[in-house]
Amino acid sequence: MESVQLETPIRSIGVLTSGGDAPGMNACIRAVVRAGIGAGLKVYGIQDGYKGLINGDLVPLSRRDVSGILSQGGTFLRTARCKEMETPHGQREAVRQLHNENLDGLVVIGGDGSMAGALTLSEQGFPVVGIPGTIDNDVFGTDTCIGVDTALNTIMEAIDKIRDTASSHSRAFLVQTMGRDSGYLAVQSAIVSGAEMALIPEQPVSVEEIARIIENSYKQGKKHCIIVVAEGFPIPMEELTSQLDAMDLGFKARGTNLSYIQRGGSPTAFDRILASRMGYKAIEFITNGKFNVMTAIQEREIVGVPIPELVGKHREVSDEYMHISNVLSR
């Protein structure tokens, strides 16, 4: 990267993180800063996502400014959900600030909402490169996103602990995972933690069906029953738990919402590598004059997916994973 010759007039770029934080965002910022400086660019950190962009909250970043952040969860640039960026006024102000600060390009690290924001900038003629960072794994065009692997590991450890108490008390436990409208985290964590069932928004089932699975687990002599509930499942986890607890199924029911612990923590080796590769690739795109794309991992390669082709679409949860989860849990 040191020897890359600039083929475009790009000299200064900004980098921001937007939407929900995800473990590995810091590793990605570090990669963007160091690869960017290595390629002869000036790199500015924009604080608080699009909100900071609109307000002009920028700081120049050196290689040393990103020392020691590789292993840290969260994002040292901070992040925000910015309603203003959804309005034509906010989008115009964002481009105005980018020009005011003499930036020639922008790297946006975030989920699908962040990519939608990036699209509005590119539609106004401003060069952007997106990097998918969200635990939800719902961004279209990429096999996975920065933060997903760490979140899965966090959920797995939590369910392993919940299983201890579930077995000790012979209970059914409903464990709620994040994911907004996607059941990805719930299905994957059901597989890795050996849960009896995953409840996902993509495949709603009735309370009676859930009760049947719990009762069958009891009849089969299991010591517990673990059900992973995606936050987007149509029946709220608390309501479901109290309905099931009131039934005579052998196991009494309890519920646990894992909530924000899923977004924190030191990124796994997988997420650090993914973040580093995507950050490096974003700079390669910029120095090669390739814009308005999102870095994506497809069959182990980091490729560029045009942002207009992915905004408004969602990565589907594979039926195969759901099937594997069901078969292995019996």
Q: Residue numbers of the site for ligand F6P (CB under 6 A)?
A: 19-20, 81, 111, 134-136, 178-180, 231, 263
Q: Tell the smallest beta-carbon distance from residue 291 to ligand F6P (Å).
A: 25
DSSP 49-114: HHHHHHHT-EEEE-TGGGTT-TT-SS-TT-----GGGGSHHHHHHHHHHHHHTT--EEEEEESHHH
Distance CA 84, CA 91 (A): 8
Q: Tell the smallest beta-carbon distance from residue 152 to ligand F6P (Å).
A: 13
- End-to-end CA gap in the chain: 51
Active site residues per annotation? 136
Distance CA 100, CA 12 (A): 12
* 50 vs 285, beta carbon nearer ligand F6P: 50
Our CA angle for 307, 57, 262, nearest 5°, is 60
Q: Tell the smallest beta-carbon distance from residue 82 to ligand F6P (Å).
A: 11
Q: Tell the smallest beta-carbon distance from residue 30 to ligand F6P (Å).
A: 22
Sign of the four-CA dihedral 101, 103, 107, 113:
positive
Look up residue 58 and give its amino acid: L
Our CA angle for 34, 31, 142, nearest 5°, is 150
* 126 vs 140, beta carbon nearer ligand F6P: 140
Q: Tell the smallest beta-carbon distance from residue 51 to ligand F6P (Å).
A: 13
* 222 vs 263, beta carbon nearer ligand F6P: 263
* 7 vs 239, beta carbon nearer ligand F6P: 239
3-class secondary structure, 330: coil
**Residue labelled with tokens 């059901």:** 190
* 263 vs 315, beta carbon nearer ligand F6P: 263
